[in-house]
Amino acid sequence: MLSIVREIKSGFTQLFPGGRFRYVLVVLAMLAAVISVSELLVMKFFVNIVVQEGEIERDRFILLGAGLAIFFILTRVSQYYQKIYRVKAFARSFKALRKLKNRGVKNPEWAMAFEVSNILTQATQLIAVLAFTVILEPIFAALNLLVVLVILAVIGRIFAKQLKVQQELQVERDGKRARPQKRYGTRIKAAELGSLLAGLGIALLLAVLLFMSYNGDISLANTLIIFFGTRLQNGSLSSTSRSLMRYAKAKAGAKSPDEDDE
C-alpha cells in the first residue's frame, strides 16, 4: 500500500504545481466523498420511509418522497459538474507547467492526471463510507477497515510489479517494442486481478453482515444501508485497481514519445 501512496504523491506533485491547482483537485476529490455520503443518506431516508410506510400520513409520505427525489437529483448534478470541471483544472495545470507543447499531440500525462484524480476520488470515497459505517455499526466498521487495508496492500504489490513490467515493455528490443496486445493485455490482467481480489474481500464482509443481521446485532434498516455502502466500497476498490494499472501504463508511455493513446 505504501507503493501506492508514494507513486500517487509523486505523480500529484509532478503533474500539478503548488497553490490553487492542488487545492482545486483536493476540493474536487472531497466533493466526490460528500456525494458518496449523500447517496448513503438518500438510501437511509429511502429505507426509513419504506419501513415506516404504513405509519406515515399520506401527505407527509408524498412530501418525504419528493424531498428524497430532489436530494437525489442534486447529488447527480453535483457529480456531473465535478467530473466535467476537472478537465478544465487539468488544462490549466498543464498550461502552467508548459507541459503541452503541441495541443494536437496525444499526451500520456493527461491519462496520468485523470488516474491520479480518480484514485484520490476513490480514496476519499472509501474514507467517507468507512466513517459512515463507524457511525452505524462500529464493530462491523473495524472488520471493514481491516479487510480494505489487506485488499489495498495486495493491490499495491500488483501495482508495484506493474510499474516495472510496463517500463520493461516500453524498452525496444531488436528495434521493436512489445506489441500493443501484450502491453494492454498485461495491464488489463493486473487490473482485473486486483478487482477480483477486492470482490472476494467484499464477499467476506457481506457474509459477516448477513450473519450479524441474522443474529439481530444490526437492525434491518442499517443492514440495508451498510450493504449498499459495502457495495459502493467494492466499486471504489475495483476502480482504484484499474486506475492504478492505467497509471502505470501511462507513466511508462510518458517516457516514450511514440506511445499510442489508450
Length of the chain, in residues: 262
pLDDT along the chain (262 residues), means of 10: 82 71 74 76 75 68 77 78 71 60 56 84 88 90 94 93 84 63 84 94 94 89 88 91 90 61 42
Classified as helix, coil or strand, 173 is strand
Q: What pLDDT score does 194 carry?
A: 93
Q: Which long-range contacts (CB under 8 A, 24 or more apart) does 175-183 make?
A: 177/256, 180/260, 183/249
Q: What pLDDT score does 191 carry?
A: 92
State the Cα–Cα distance between residues 113 and 87, nearest whole angstrom.
9
Report the DSSP beta bridge partners of residue 173. 176
Rg of the chain on CA atoms, in Å: 21
Written as one letter, the residue type at 252 is A
Q: What pLDDT score does 136 carry?
A: 87
Tally the C-alpha atoms within 13 A of residue 22's C-alpha that lie toward its C-beta: 11
Buried b (16+ CB within 10 A) or exposed e, 157-175: ebbbebbebbeebbeeeee
Q: What pLDDT score does 244 carry?
A: 92
Q: What pLDDT score does 232 carry?
A: 87
Q: Hey, what domains does the chain have and what are their CATH numbers? A: 2-254 (1.20.1560)
Q: What pLDDT score does 77 carry?
A: 83
Q: What pLDDT score does 60 carry?
A: 73
pTM of the model: 0.77
Q: What pLDDT score does 202 carry?
A: 93
CB 243 within 8 A of CB 255: no
